[in-house]
Amino acid sequence: MNIKKQQGTTLVQRACANVKGFKALHNRLEKKIIVSGKSMSTLNNYMRCIAHIALKYNCLPTQLDLEQIEDYLLLLKKKGASEADFKLTVYGLRFLFRCEGLNDRAIKLPSIKRDKKLPVVLSPREMIELLKAPSLLKHRVLIGVLYGCGLRCQEVRSLLIKDVDFDRKVIHVRQGKGRKDRYVPLGEHLARGLKKYLDAEKPIKWLFNGKDHQQPFSPRGTQWVVREATKKTGIKKQVSVHTLRHTYATHLLEQGLDIVSIKELLGHAHIDTTMVYLHVAKAGRQIPFSPLDKLYPSEQKTQKA
Which residue in the list 152, 157, 251, 263 is annotated as catalytic? 152
* Contact predicate 216/210, CB 8 Å: yes
Query: Does the annotation count 242 as an active-site position?
Result: yes
With H, G, I as helix, E, B as strand and everything else as coil, classify residue 79.
coil
- Which residues, 6+ apart, have CB-to-CB distance to 292 below 8 Å? none
Of 245, 246, 251, 263, the catalytic one is 245
Pick the catalytic residue: 14, 23, 182, 268?
268
CA distance 196 to 166: 13
Residue 236 known to be catalytic:
no
Residue 277 annotated among the catalytic residues of the structure: yes
The residues near 18 (Cβ < 8 Å, ≥ 6 apart) are: 55, 58
Is-catalytic flag, 251?
no
Q: Yes or no: say if 166 and 191 are a contact pair by the CB < 8 Å rule.
A: yes
- Does 177 participate in catalysis according to the annotation? yes
d(CA 139, CA 152): 16
Name the active-site residue from 48, 139, 177, 251.
Answer: 177
Q: 152 catalytic, yes or no?
A: yes
CA distance 82 to 6: 13
Catalytic residues: 152, 177, 242, 245, 268, 277
